[in-house]
Amino acid sequence: MRIIKHQQQSYPESLIEQENIVASILQNKTQNTLILTEHPPIYTLGTSAQESDILTRHIDGEDILVYSTGRGGEVTYHGPGQLVCYVIVNIEHEKDLHQHVWRLEEMVIHTLAAFDIHGSRDKRGIGVWVHGLKIAAVGVRCRKWVTFHGIALNISPNLKHFSGIVPCGMQDAPVTSMHELGIKASRQDVEKYMIDYAKQNFCL
């Protein structure tokens, strides 16, 4: 599996990069790819998003961009301190997007376990939760059985920025982060576990 790391990139830039990799995989010109990145503060709208789920675009004197995207899901937040994992893989042999989402969640659950955080799934929706608080959001898209987009884990983002939206369309889905839970891990600490899991479970 190919690993690409960016310290930070704009959300539109990341979409272009993903689209290019999807096209290359479909042409058998490149291998399955994991992109690890962060974005400047932005609210992204999935295909099921409602404009009313954006409560405000101005928090702590900062304007937060809003961007419509083709991924599944509703509205979510991306920002510094959040590790975004875009998993671009060909799942044509199994044709099971639910299994792919399960693997994304499992990647975060295994990573959190390495820091003694018990992450789990919740009947309220996809993603990873800790004590009823959402710590990682999932949104995926699939083109000719090549997946893109992925999962975003809150390591140390500004949690106030989540107050500007109804996360994933759920009023009862407050968020948390690793730092909020008392685990002061760095992005580098977290990445190595993500990469290990991805290499073992997404090299399909």
Phi, psi of 61 (to 5 degrees): 75, 10
Phi, psi of 138 (to 5 degrees): -120, 140
Q: Is 109 helix (H, G, I), strand (E, B) or coil?
A: helix
The pTM of the full predicted model, rounded to 2 decimals, is 0.93
- Number of folded domains that form the chain: 1
> Hey, which residues are catalytic here?
168
Confidence (pLDDT) at 172: 53
CATH code of the domain containing 76:
3.30.930.10
Q: Mean pLDDT by 10-residue block, N- to C-terminus, for the chain (204 residues)?
A: 96 97 96 97 87 87 88 87 97 94 97 98 93 94 96 96 75 84 97 95 75
Confidence (pLDDT) at 50: 80
> Which domain does 129 fall in, by range?
2-201
Kindly state the tokens that stand for 67.
């961007």
DSSP H or E stretch at residue 104: helix 97-113
How many C-beta neighbours within 10 Å does residue 50 have?
A: 11
Interatomic CA distance for residues 107 and 56, integer angstroms: 32
**What b/e string do you get for 162-201 counting C-beta neighbours within 10 Å, with b at 16 or more?**
bbbbbbbbeeebebbbbebbebebebeebbebbbebbeeb
Confidence (pLDDT) at 197: 95
